[in-house]
Amino acid sequence: MQRSWRLILTAAIVAYSAVVLGSWVRITGSGMTCPDWPLCHGAIVPSLAGGTLWEWSHRLVALLEAPLVIAVLIVPWPLRKRYPFISVTLALIAALFVIQVLLGAATVHLSNSPLSVVLHWGTAMAFLGALVALTVFLRAPEAVPSAHRERTHDAVLAMVSLTALLSFVTMCIGAYVSSSGAGLACVTIPGCAGEVLVYGSGQYVQMLHRFFAGACLLIGCATLAFAWRYASSSVRAIVSVGMALLFGQVLLGLLNVAWRLPSAVRELHAANAALAFLAFVVAAALAAVEQTTQRQTATQT
């Protein structure tokens, strides 16, 4: 079992690397430096001048992910009856990986249209979240507190899951903002060019992103308070990390506007958004494992 969760964690790290590289490709405008797929300029290893280096590296990391995913689908399979959620999560990982590969090809054929970029990013994050959740499902049962010690309230799982969902939606809207060139459609805060109600597609999507970011932060604060009152110490700790990342995310967003979108800050904004989302995925998965374990213990006694 230890080999299984370490393998899955490795696959998750590689997938996160692909996400970070992908965001850098988008930020630097290198998405079409390889205008064909799966080759790049008709070659397996093209000339890596300019932005081609980033796009080709992104594809290379994605290619390295393939054998890891195959191993992830095979190695934990015998454990599916011993641990909850394994079968469903493995099926989700397989489906998301196939969809992600197809979307990678589609973004090239659609010349990195904003919608294709959002679908590509969203699927990548869902795939990464599934890998991280699977790691928790395999690793957590050994460390879950027994029923007579700490207990996670049922509502905590709903709150943490809602925060994860809001962070996911906020990320996807942010990907649209970035890929559509709307990053500076609103140059004032909290309004847009001094107005609360805005007009124009770029301003609309920018304000929509800010609205969901604010909602995510508020719900996250409520989740943190709820977790400290009703969750186990493990869930509380992870939610606290997630909230720290969310506050950092807001700061990075403000700096993006104030400093007019420097590439390094944009990349940090994307990478940190992924980490915040994953923190709440971990918290939700751990809460689900704790509930299942506690119920099984109660039934056995």
Q: What is the pLDDT along the chain (301 residues), one digit of tens a residue?
A: 667 888 999 999 999 999 999 999 989 888 889 999 988 989 989 988 888 999 999 999 999 999 999 999 999 888 888 888 899 999 999 999 999 999 999 998 888 899 999 999 999 999 999 999 999 998 876 655 544 445 667 888 999 999 999 999 999 999 999 999 888 888 887 777 665 555 678 888 998 999 999 999 999 999 999 999 888 889 999 999 999 999 999 999 999 998 999 999 999 999 999 999 999 999 999 999 888 877 766 665 5
Phi, psi of 69 (to 5 degrees): -65, -40
Return the residue matching tokens 């979240």.
129
Q: How far apart are CA 266 and CA 183, in angstroms?
A: 10
- Is residue 166 within 8 A of residue 277, CB to CB? The reply is no
Q: How far apart are CA 211 and CA 190, in angstroms?
A: 10
Question: What burial class does residue 199 get, using C-beta atoms within 10 Å of its C-beta: 0-12 exposed, 13-18 middle, 19+ buried?
Answer: exposed
The pLDDT value recorded for residue 187 is 82
What residues contact residue 263 under an 8 Å CB cut-off, 6+ apart? 27, 28
Q: How far apart are CA 175 and CA 212, in angstroms?
A: 13
The pLDDT value recorded for residue 38 is 87
Residues composing the chain:
301
What does the block give as tokens for 145? 């507190």
Q: Could you tell me which of 15, 55, 14 has the C-alpha nearest to residue 38?
A: 55
**Rounded to two decimals, what is the model's pTM?**
0.93
- Is residue 145 within 8 A of residue 276, CB to CB? The reply is no
The pLDDT value recorded for residue 142 is 61
The pLDDT value recorded for residue 147 is 43
- Is residue 179 within 8 A of residue 26, CB to CB? The reply is yes
3-state secondary structure of 192: strand
The pLDDT value recorded for residue 149 is 47
Return the residue matching tokens 């604060």.
221
What residues contact residue 143 under an 8 Å CB cut-off, 6+ apart? 234
**Whether the bond into 35 is cis, omega within 30 of 0:** no
Q: Could you tell me which of 71, 40, 72 has the C-alpha nearest to residue 57?
A: 40
Q: Could you tell me which of 287, 289, 277 has the C-alpha nearest to residue 16?
A: 277
Return the residue matching tokens 């969203």.
122
